[in-house]
Amino acid sequence: ISPVDKEIGVGATASVALVSMPPAESLATWVIDVVFDPTVVSMDSCTPAAFPPGSVSVGACEADDQEGGPDDETVVVLGAILFLDTERGFDDETTLASITFMAVGAIDDCSDLTITVVSHLGPDQTGPETDPATTNGEICIVEEPAPERRWGDGDCSGEVNPIDSLKVLRSDAGLPVSQTGDCPVIGSNVTVDGTARLWNDVDCSGAVNPIDSLKTLRHDAGLSVSQSEGCPGVATSVTVSS
């Protein structure tokens, strides 16, 4: 789950990402459960993985009260992909779903977001199941959550696009960059989902440079983007504080 710790305002909505690091043989088929406490949050919506061109793919996610009781509810995320040119699945870290929760509890109520991997396979469906390590999350209701941004949205316009790529280049050249409201300065130190980062260091390399500009363009074109482990996916919603 990314972020691991998520804040949400009373009666508000907030999104978390289900992120997967593929096995060596690539990730072609997956079924993953995310269990939450329905007395704290409800699932408002769920958007499955964005599949790039040149692939045969299918994906879905939905809420399912699998236990039939009031204590837990489950978001089931499932999908399959095969790239036509390589006959492989995802080779890079991938957001399999973006899950939006709505707060239904009170301030200081928290819900665990517990992951169970039901299936996690490479393109050889007769091969053994992989056994990926999982990181559970938690979502808590607070009075004033930190503002949310999109990772890679350097000017805080609300979306990641080629303009952000251009502004990274301007920043790298020492030129002025226009931004929206109280947007962090590109390259400044910020806390992103509880982790120290540089604002708009798209690949979390520790520096903001033209490589981040290129990776922003790759994302906009629907191409894969390599990032350091634990880095938020490009355009995913993150909580940012100075």
Q: Is the pLDDT of residue 16 over 70?
A: yes
Q: Which residue has the tokens 């790759």?
A: 218
pLDDT at 236: 87
Question: 3-class SS at 166?
Answer: helix
Residues 205, 4: Cα–Cα separation, whole Å: 20
Average pLDDT, the chain: 91
What confidence tens digit (pLDDT) does each residue in 212-228 have? 999 999 999 988 899 99
Q: Is the pLDDT of residue 203 over 70?
A: yes
pLDDT: is 125 or 97 the higher one? 97
Q: Is the pLDDT of residue 68 over 60?
A: no
Q: Where in the chain is the domain with CATH 2.60.40.680?
A: 5-142
Partners of 121 in the beta sheet? 29
For the chain, the first-to-last Cα distance in angstroms comes to 23
DSSP for 126-138 reads TSPPP------EE
pTM (predicted TM-score): 0.70
The reply to whether CATH 2.60.40.10 applies to domain 5-142 is no
CB distance 120 to 155 below 8 Å: no
What's the mean pLDDT in 122-143?
Answer: 86
Tokens matching residue 46: 């769920």
Residues 168, 105: Cα–Cα separation, whole Å: 40
For residue 173, what is the DSSP state?
A: T
Q: With pLDDT > 90 as the criterion, what percentage of the chain qualifies?
A: 68
Which among 227, 211, 215, 151 has a CA at the least distance from the CA of 184?
A: 151
What confidence tens digit (pLDDT) does each residue in 40-58 have? 999 999 999 888 889 999 9
Residues 192, 150: Cα–Cα separation, whole Å: 10
The β-bridge relationship of strands 55-64 and 73-83 is: antiparallel
Q: Is the pLDDT of residue 123 over 70?
A: yes
